[in-house]
Structure 1
Amino acid sequence: MISLYVGSTSGYTGKTLITMGLGQKFKKDGLRVGYIKPVGILPVKVDDILTDNDAWRIYRALEMKDHISDICPVVLTQELEVKSYLKDIKGLLTKIVKSYNQLSKDKDIMLVGGYGSIYTGNYLGLQGLHVIKRLNSKVIIVVKYEGEYIVDYVLQAKKDLRDKFLGVILNKVTIEHKQSANEYAVPFLKRKGVDILGIIPHDSIVGSVTVEELNEMLGGKVLCCHDKLSNLVEHFLIGAMQVDKAIEYFKKIRNNAVIVGGDRPDIQLSAIESGSICLILTGELYPSEIILSRAEQKDIPILVVREDTYSIAKKLEKMSARLRLRDKAKVDRGMNLVIENVNFPLLYKKMGLKID
């Protein structure tokens, strides 16, 4: 039985969707697949059992039959987080190993979902590196490709993981970054002995959320263009610059939602004129009639939210990735993207598996 840990060197790299895609392909190739997320940070109750939201989505996507209570043995509730800072919590790793051993019975491969990065979790005594060692897992590192600088993180992970490191998947590679990935990062990593297990392109549909979903998540109020709430948002921009730089900034990135203080009509107007998908006005401050009228003319919904700009930006960073996994069509599309762009023959070879 092979244990395969899907980890990263930072958060929000797309590990959940990649885990789904890997699992689906393994099942199609006739392997008996198990799954565990040792530590979850998104508590949710399923049939009155506490588990993790991402783990539950993977469980359903891969049509698992194992007991739900085992798929995420440690769920980071607010209570557990507070306790862990006040005193050492005993027995968490033992609990993970117990669930892992139960789930891995009669399996050919166990997918282990990392949370945060492989360096996250020290304060719980559950750093990714420690869990990997205890479960004797081989490791795939998933990196959101944003430039050549990511090679430093990959090389550090390779050094820290030693013989457990299988290779890297470069995820969400945009058209703008494709050339630098192919011409610089990939040849460099190969020269350093790093196997490239996949290069997955950014997909605008998989990587988007609707304005309506955003509004639900933020608890906002829609002021106009209610018929445009199905518009898709791919990027979130913070409108906190000088107005002369704002238009250029907003035009550079397509399908964006601009988070801006309700007291910045100059930035609001720049976003509208630049063709942003929607405006998120913070501080529960309402726009002027001029702004509202112009937004209606341009079919750009305006949402008003209570929290400040920084708090909203942090909330979107944490939650937007999870929103993208709510839609089954997006999940299926994302899994197919993984299957089409991961080098499975190489991965199977690295794992020592022979697939007919």
Structure 2
Amino acid sequence: MKKLVVASTGKSAGKTCLIVGIASALGGTCGYIKPIGDRLLYRKKRLWDHDAALFAALWKLDNKPEDITIGFEHAKLRYMYDRSGTKEKIGEMVAAAGNRDYLFIEAGGSLSFGASVHLDPISLAKYAEAELLLIVGGDEDSVLDEIHFYKNYIDDEGARMAGVIINKVQDLEDFQHTFGEELASTGIPILGVIPQQPELRALPVKYLVERLFARVVAGELGLDRVVENLFLGAMSVSSAIGHPLFEKPNKLIITSGDRSDMILAALETASSCIVLTNNLLPPGNILSKASEARIPVLLVPWDTYTTVQKIGQVEPLLTTDDKAKIELLTDLAKAHVKLDVLKK
């Protein structure tokens, strides 16, 4: 069984999405472990990690989601296990994953995350006798800094490196032309450079409803729409109509329920969703128009500023329903990742 500890140099580098794409592209049977949960869900009177639940369902694992993760809080983990106990527990989880072709062990949001409870990526790789696959994302200069720094750190710690995948690159051709030689000189295998994909940032409206605890007051049949752009409808309608963002497709518009003019304008353009603030509802005929157009109208209790902040904090997590995203991730892995190296 090929074992890979998938780590990143910072949050939102794309570890989970890349695991989905790479596993699908590799083929074969796959197992999944995420020792420290960081995306808490409460389901069926149990605490689950979102990613653990995703892979348990996606790959039809024998493991229950709660058994894929050791825990969530550092304080409890520190109380439950010392280093030898942690190593033993990881060994048990690896064995419980079964005899599969690949086992992906997802580490935390940085190479230091989990160190105080003996669950940092380097320790995980040693416990599981696995190779370390490092995901790096960000602007070009920070990517180079991180690769140089972590190469020295990982070498000093004696971990086995599978290689590095550079994710979310804005201009793929320019990046490879500018930094290709310098990356090769680091001595670390660069297993892939993956371009930024705006589609992966899209938020399904029904996912947004769940995350905001919003009330759907119209357009329930449009909850499968996706949001790719955001427009704040605090200006006059004449100003909004001339604004470039207002013309963008798949947009979410935030406005107040007493702005009937803005809501009607939103219904006549390529809007995916309208979020009404301050618990203010528009007249019933406007809600009927939204339902006819299958454009969801969500009601939230906060003011406009707070609503914008809360929507900005919603992370577009992958779900089993995201068939198009999963297919895109598979295609990206096939096109940009050296899968033959990972198979060895």
Q: Same fold (TM over 0.5)?
A: yes
| Structure 1 residues 103 and 221, CA gap change in structure 2 (3 angstroms) | closer
Residue 131 of structure 2: aligned partner: 138
| Structure 1 residues 154 and 280, CA gap change in structure 2 (3 angstroms) | farther
Q: In structure 1, what is the Cα distance between the partners aligned to 2:309 and 2:84?
A: 36
- Write out aligned runs for 1:8-157 (5 A): 8-28=8-28, 33-44=30-41, 50-66=47-63, 70-74=67-71, 76=72, 80=73, 83=75, 88-91=78-81, 94=84, 96-105=86-95, 106=99, 109-122=102-115, 124=117, 126-144=119-137, 149-157=142-150
Q: In structure 2, what is the Cα distance between the partners aligned to 1:137 and 1:221?
A: 46
Q: Please state if 1:306 is matched with 2:296.
A: no
Deviation, 1:325, is 1.6
Quick one: which amino acid aligns to residue 168 of structure 1?
Answer: V
Q: In structure 1, what is the Cα distance between the partners aligned to 2:139 and 2:100?
A: 36
- Asked if the contact 2:7–2:135 (Cα under 8 Å) also holds between the matched residues in 1, the reply is yes
Q: In structure 2, what is the Cα distance between the partners aligned to 1:37 and 1:127?
A: 11
Q: Please state if 1:280 is matched with 2:275.
A: yes
Q: In structure 2, what is the Cα distance between the partners aligned to 1:301 and 1:50?
A: 30
| Secondary structure in 2 matching 1:39 | coil
Quick one: which amino acid aligns to residue 49 of structure 2?
Answer: D
| Secondary structure in 1 matching 2:275 | strand
| Structure 1 residues 188 and 299, CA gap change in structure 2 (3 angstroms) | farther
| Secondary structure in 2 matching 1:40 | coil
| Secondary structure in 2 matching 1:180 | helix
1:171 corresponds to which of 163, 167, 173: 167
| Structure 1 residues 298 and 103, CA gap change in structure 2 (3 angstroms) | closer
Q: Deviations over 1:96-127 (max 9, x none)?
A: 53343234345564321123222323565533
| Secondary structure in 2 matching 1:115 | coil
Give the unaligned 5+ runs of structure 1: none
Q: In structure 2, what is the Cα distance between the partners aligned to 1:153 and 1:249?
A: 37
| Secondary structure in 1 matching 2:171 | helix
- Count of residue correspondences: 331
Give the unaligned 5+ runs of structure 2: none
| Structure 1 residues 45 and 282, CA gap change in structure 2 (3 angstroms) | closer
TM-score, structure 1 normalization? 0.70
Residue 327 of structure 1: aligned partner: 321
Deviation, 1:57, is 1.7
Quick one: which amino acid aligns to residue 307 of structure 2?
Answer: T
| Secondary structure in 2 matching 1:161 | helix
Q: In structure 2, what is the Cα distance between the partners aligned to 1:224 and 1:68?
A: 34
Deviation, 1:194, is 3.9
| Structure 1 residues 262 and 154, CA gap change in structure 2 (3 angstroms) | farther
Deviation, 1:5, is 0.9
- Asked if the contact 1:141–1:169 (Cα under 8 Å) also holds between the matched residues in 2, the reply is yes
